[in-house]
Amino acid sequence: MHFNNLNRRDFLTKSAIAATVTMLPGKSFAGISAHAADLHQSAYVFDGHVHALDREFYHGGDVTDRVDIGQWDLSRAKEGGVDAFFLSIYTPEEYYPGRYETKQALRRMDHALDQLHKANPQLGLALSGQDLTRLQQQNKIAAILDIEGSYDLDGDLGALRSLHQLGLRSAQVSAHNWNQHYADACCSTPQFNGLTPHGRDVVREMNRLGMVINVSHSADITMAQVIDVSDRPVIATHHGLRQVNDIPRNIPDPLLKKLVDRGGVIGFQIGSEFAYPREYAWLTEHRKKTFWDTTSIPERTKGKSIYEIDQLVAPTFPMLGAEVPVEVAMHIDDWVGVVDRAIRLVGEDAVALGSDFDGGPTLARGMRDVRDLPMITEAMLRRGYSEARIRKFLGGNLRRAFSQATA
């Protein structure tokens, strides 16, 4: 998810200061009760959406480098108790008008695989549920490669199979906030009334290959049709509830029920733009546009080479959350309240974490970055959740759905 920065200098300054306050592995989390810290440390924490390598692809460095800018790196993820995550292979819309999306997806896959190799033995590639167990036993964090955006606007099945052979195990149906030529996105003018016949073939081939079908960013009708066509659970990796904030990136109640009835899981994006209408309204007013607006892209990228587009988009990475006044800032209890609404609607077996770290979420007050994931555990305990429910949310539900989709 792509956001414009409101006050980048202030954010970077505060991030650098906050980065000096760290938690040693195995020790208590700052400001977190012993109960919450113990529970979080022992839980399997599986994040459904992380922009883990955008910064490294565009600016250099390794995933193992601890940095002060942004919301996620491997070192801070360990401090936050992360055991597994969907690693976003992000191909922004800027690469689409020139039809560079497949080349960019291959470049990002190559970079990700190289980074995983360099990060061994701290990090490992997971292709299935069995791999999650193996990597856990090896004390490695598991990374699942997930295309965000498009690997090919035409949905070529040969390209899909080739990426699967490289290790891709998840892909979005829509091209981020842009329509694929076979599926409508949430935030572009509809063209196909959901899926085309070829789009249905893409879904079936992903089922056959054992890939996660990720419907985040898809149009409502696209999601509904994907759920009907798929014979495996479908996952919305980073989403919110439309009953809370009425924007097209959030899921309406009937569609969420349909997703869950077929075994699917919804991952909750951690930013206020999805979960807190008051802050979203303030941000939209000051940006003068919605965060999904892509209308200027064709003109800005016209005639540019792929390397010139690299230079165009590089300054936006990592994508930082906005600085907002404290009086409109979301509290972590507000965010957990959104998860609670979903639990009351579809049950505790269907909810998961899908943070979107370094993809631009504006975090709850007091939350610095991935290190502060235990704040969620603490807030859920305050709400009276059982340890079993919290473990399901933190990773159990997503682990089950991923294992079923890739079996």
Inside any domain, residue 2:
no
pLDDT of 379 reads 98
Is 266 within the bounds of a domain?
A: yes
For 143, the domain range is 8-406
Q: In a 10 Å sphere around its CB, with 0-12 CB exposed, 13-18 middle and 19+ buried, how is residue 311 labelled? A: exposed
Domain count, the chain: 1
- Would you say residue 46 has pLDDT above 90? yes
Confidence of residue 29 (pLDDT cuts 50, 70, 90): low
Give the residue-averaged pLDDT of 243-252: 97
1 domain-assigned: no
| Res. 5: pLDDT tops 90 | no
Tell whether 192 is covered by a domain.
yes
Between residues 20 and 248, the one the model is more confident about: 248
Give the pLDDT confidence of 100-115 residue by residue, as tens digits. 999 999 999 999 999 9
- Residue 279 belongs to domain with CATH number: 3.20.20.140
Q: Considering the entire predicted model, what is its pTM?
A: 0.92
Residues 255-273 have a mean pLDDT of 97
368-399 confidence digits (pLDDT tens): 999 999 999 999 999 999 999 999 999 999 99
User: Do the domain assignments include residue 214?
Assistant: yes
pLDDT surpasses 50 at 25:
no
- pLDDT for position 31: 78
pLDDT band at 28 (very low <50, low <70, confident <90, very high): low
Q: What is the mean pLDDT of residues 114-118?
A: 97
pLDDT, position 30? 65
Residues 134-161 have a mean pLDDT of: 98
- Would residue 228 count as lying in a domain? yes
